[in-house]
Amino acid sequence: MGLLLLGLLLSCQPDTPKACVVIEAVSIEAGFRVRGTNSADVTIRRGECIEFVNQDSTAHIAQTRPGSGAPEDFSTQNLIPDPAYRVKIVLNIAGEYEYICSINTGNTVHARTMFGKITVR
C-alpha cells in the first residue's frame, strides 16, 4: 500500500522544467546556430523556451520573418554583443516560426545569411 501511494504521489509531481534551447548569433557570415549543432533549425514542444545569445561583435535582432505565416510573432529587440546577455522567449502555439536577423548595416542585409526555423509541436 505504501509503495502504491508513493507511486501515485510521484506521478502527480510536476515535470522538472527543461533548460531552454540556446540559439547563438555566431556572425553575419556563419548565421544563427543552435548550441551544440551546425543547424539554425530546432524542434521544441509547446511551452518550452528558446534563449537567443549574441556571440558576435555586432548587434543582431532575431524576429519572425515578416509574411512567413508564423502562429505568433516574436522579436528579441537588440541582442547586444555580450555572451552573458540572453533574451528568452516561450512559444505556446504549435507551428513553424521562420526567424531572421532584421538588422541592416551599411550594404549588408543580415537576413541573407542569418535565418532559421523553430518548429513547435
Question: pLDDT confidence of 10, banded at 50, 70, 90?
Answer: very low
Residue 115, in any domain of the structure? yes
Cell output for 100: 531572421
pLDDT at 75 over 60: yes
- Please give the full DSSP string across 42-109, using - where no structure is assigned: EEE-TT-EEEEEE-SSS-B-EEEPTTS--SS--B---B-S-TT-EEEEE--S-EEEEEEE--EETTEE
Residue 6, in any domain of the structure? no
pLDDT at residue 4 in the model: 40
Residue 59, in any domain of the structure? yes
Question: What secondary structure letter does DSSP report for 1?
Answer: -
Residue 3, in any domain of the structure? no
Q: Looking at the DSSP assignment, which residues form a beta bridge with residue 31? A: 27
Residue 10, in any domain of the structure? no
Report pLDDT digits (tens) over 103-117: 877 767 899 999 999
pTM of the model: 0.83
Residue 100, in any domain of the structure? yes
Supply the range of the domain harboring residue 62. Answer: 17-120
**Cα distance between residue 90 and residue 30, in whole Å:** 25
